[in-house]
Amino acid sequence: MNCVLFFSVGAFLVVAHEDKILRSIPRFSPHRSRVRSTEVNRNPNVAPLKSDYTYRTLYFDQKIDHFGFAQDKTFKNRYLLADQFWNRNGGPIFFYTGNEGDIEWFCKNTGFMWDIAPQFNAMLVFAEHRYYGKSMPFGSDSYKNSSVLNFLSSEQALADFTELISFIKATIPGASKSPVVAFGGSYGGMLSAWFRIKYPNIVVGSLAASAPIWQFKDITPCNAFNDVASATWARVSETCVSNANKGYSTLEEVGANAAGLKFISSTFHLCDPLTSMADVKSFKSFLSDMYVDFAEVDYPYPASFLADLPAWPVKEACKSLLSPLSGKPLLEALAKVTNLYFNYTGAAKCVDWKGEGSTASLGYLGWNYQSCTEMVMPMCSNGTGMFYNMDWDFQAFSDDCFKQFGVRPRQDWVKHQYWGTDLSAASNIIFSNGDLDPWSSGGVTEYISESVVSILIKEGAHHLDLRASNQGDTSYVREARTREINIIKEWLELTP
């Protein structure tokens, strides 16, 4: 298990410009644990992952380039296979379309597939996305330069899934006639939707959970994402929101002198003390990211999805911010929120707000690269809610990408390639979204057609429905899962 990736799927890139603009690449999950500790304590309230999640780890020789022939070499594409529930006489294959990270992590955090495999007599396959985990096209050189990174794209990943499924069907006795259903959450959910869109010959249908396939230029306003995050906090208390927003100016006021910087650093238990106004700006960004992360993982039960947290963490965090605050008391209250997120288990010595640097993990770097090529998701804020004012400056973004990777983003391509909002020709896709999840802003939450179904899960955070069933589950997520199961059954029944 790659522990760095475990906590850092997604990406975070802070780039200091000449004009000191700080920006972050949108990401699906918290940037990193931000905890420096001697040991990582498990959240004692979280049930351990079920011991019957047993699978075989396998590798498939995948073409490095599916769309060109000059590069004919292959790499070892990792996948996990569990066939203990599978009925060889027609049982389906449930196929997880791996995200930007180690596939073992997604396998263990997608309990829904494990929960329903027995009733469907399904084989489970979890395919790792190229350039993540152990699926490195050029081994340790895979991130060396833009030339080797050239084959990191969603199109190549979908082609990988296509070839892997074709291989499984051709080689596993009994599998040739097994219908395949795609599952995915977050970027993996985008891939599962796009998989059905582009390769309906390979998958009979897709469950795309919390898949922001519309978080792109000219489709979703750049402030929508942050607006949902703010709304998630505002459900608990508007005061909570106004306190958080006030926190940014308070940080700048208090941090305007050396004593203030010291106060902030010690109040928030920062591993690296703030030493300048630039640090204050970075720290503002750090806090704003944390508010998003809280909303993303606002699960109804204690969970360790991306941080160890109690049930309903936003509500828990808000407790410190229920009355109007200002000055140092406000910062002390915000420090409690930060401590909740980054040190709920009490194992942290300090809060590692500077993190490990953007190049420390291939997980980050990979998503940064993808964000700098196809996955350009404009993000901004008008300064209301939980966030300070942040503009979206595509040119500056593009320049950063060129500086870091030698590539330029193509912000219209995903829309052209994957049909944008014109899903009239699509079929057999479930788009599920939780209304607490900031990513629902770019999700498909409107009626498309009888076979492209949108399920909005009330009080649902980021792909809550894909998680293992839990005693703390709301009736809303239980209903969503039941509906999903019934729709999947229909797909399978209609398959010849």
Q: CA 83 to CA 71: how far, in whole Å?
A: 34
Q: Where are the alpha helices (H) located in 127-202, listed in sequence order?
A: 146-149, 154-171, 187-198
CB of 408 to its own copies, least distance (A): 6
Which part of the chain contacts its own copies (CB under 8 A), choosing from 221-229, 275-283, 378-386, 411-419? Answer: 411-419
DSSP E strands, 169-276: 180-185, 205-209
Q: Which of 422, 447, 475, 486 binds its own copies (CB under 8 A)?
A: 422
Size of residue set near its own copies by CB under 8 A: 42
Q: CA 314 to CA 434: how far, in whole Å?
A: 15
Q: Which of 41, 87, 150, 242 binds its own copies (CB under 8 A)?
A: 150
Q: Which of 408, 449, 482, 489 binds its own copies (CB under 8 A)?
A: 408
Q: Is residue 399 close enough to count as binding its own copies by CB under 8 A?
A: no
Q: What are phi and psi of 143, to 5 degrees?
A: -110, 20
Cβ proximity of 213 and 415 under 8 Å = no
What kind and span of H or E run contains 37?
none
Q: CA 312 to CA 459: how far, in whole Å?
A: 10
Which part of the chain contacts its own copies (CB under 8 A), choosing from 32-40, 120-128, 423-431, 432-440? Answer: 423-431
Q: Is residue 218 close enough to count as binding its own copies by CB under 8 A?
A: no
Q: Is residue 420 close enough to count as binding its own copies by CB under 8 A?
A: yes
Q: Which parts of 477-496 interact with its own copies (CB under 8 A)?
A: none
Q: Is residue 416 close enough to count as binding its own copies by CB under 8 A?
A: yes
Which part of the chain contacts its own copies (CB under 8 A), choosing from 69-77, 233-241, 248-256, 473-481? Answer: 69-77
Q: Provide the pairing of β-strand 429-434 with 389-390.
A: unpaired
Assess whether 462 carries a catalytic annotation.
Answer: yes
Q: Is residue 149 close enough to count as binding its own copies by CB under 8 A?
A: yes
Q: Is residue 206 close enough to count as binding its own copies by CB under 8 A?
A: no
Cβ proximity of 379 and 222 under 8 Å = yes
Q: Is residue 411 close enough to count as binding its own copies by CB under 8 A?
A: no
Q: Which of 147, 395, 475, 486 binds its own copies (CB under 8 A)?
A: 147
Q: Is residue 425 close enough to count as binding its own copies by CB under 8 A?
A: yes
Q: Which of 4, 20, 265 is nearest to 12 (CA)?
A: 4
CB of 293 to its own copies, least distance (A): 29
Q: Is residue 146 close enough to count as binding its own copies by CB under 8 A?
A: yes
Which one of 31, 66, 129, 462 is the catalytic residue?
462
State the distance between the two ends of the chain, measured CA to CA, in whole angstroms.
40
Q: Is residue 129 close enough to count as binding its own copies by CB under 8 A?
A: no
Cβ proximity of 136 and 142 under 8 Å = yes
Q: Is residue 68 close enough to count as binding its own copies by CB under 8 A?
A: yes
Q: Is residue 424 close enough to count as binding its own copies by CB under 8 A?
A: yes
Q: Could you tell me the two tokens for 306?
A: 């991306």
Please spell the DSSP secondary structure of 434-496, one letter per residue: ETT-GGGGGS--S---SSEEEEEETT--TTGGGSPP-TT--HHHHHHHHHHHHHHHHHHHH--
Q: Is residue 153 close enough to count as binding its own copies by CB under 8 A?
A: yes
Q: Is residue 61 close enough to count as binding its own copies by CB under 8 A?
A: no
Which one of 437, 441, 465, 473 is the catalytic residue?
437
Q: CA 396 to CA 228: how far, in whole Å?
A: 25
Q: Where are the alpha helices (H) located in 297-393, listed in sequence order?
A: 313-318, 327-343, 362-371
Q: Is residue 453 close enough to count as binding its own copies by CB under 8 A?
A: no
> Among all chains, which residue has been given the structure tokens 């958080």?
244
Assess whether 186 carries a catalytic annotation.
Answer: yes
Q: Which of 23, 31, 32, 63 binds its own copies (CB under 8 A)?
A: 63
Q: Is residue 277 close enough to count as binding its own copies by CB under 8 A?
A: no
Q: Provide the pairing of β-strand 381-382 with 452-457.
A: unpaired
Assess whether 437 carries a catalytic annotation.
Answer: yes
Q: CA 53 to CA 74: how far, in whole Å?
A: 29
Q: CA 136 to CA 57: how far, in whole Å?
A: 15
CB of 427 to its own copies, least distance (A): 6
Question: Strand, helix or coil at 369?
Answer: helix
Cβ proximity of 132 and 102 under 8 Å = yes
CB of 182 or CB of 251, closer to its own copies: 182
Which part of the chain contacts its own copies (CB under 8 A), choosing from 13-21, 36-44, 298-306, 405-413? Answer: 405-413
CB of 372 to its own copies, least distance (A): 8
Residue 122 C-beta-side C-alpha neighbours within 13 Å: 26
Q: Which of 419, 454, 474, 485 binds its own copies (CB under 8 A)?
A: 419
Q: Is residue 458 close enough to count as binding its own copies by CB under 8 A?
A: no
Q: Is residue 447 close enough to count as binding its own copies by CB under 8 A?
A: no
Cβ proximity of 7 and 31 under 8 Å = no
Q: Which residues bind its own copies (CB under 8 A)?
A: 63, 66-72, 146-147, 149-151, 153, 155-156, 159, 162-163, 166, 198-202, 372-373, 406-408, 410, 412-413, 416-417, 419-420, 422, 424-425, 427-428
Q: Which residues are catalytic?
A: 186, 437, 462
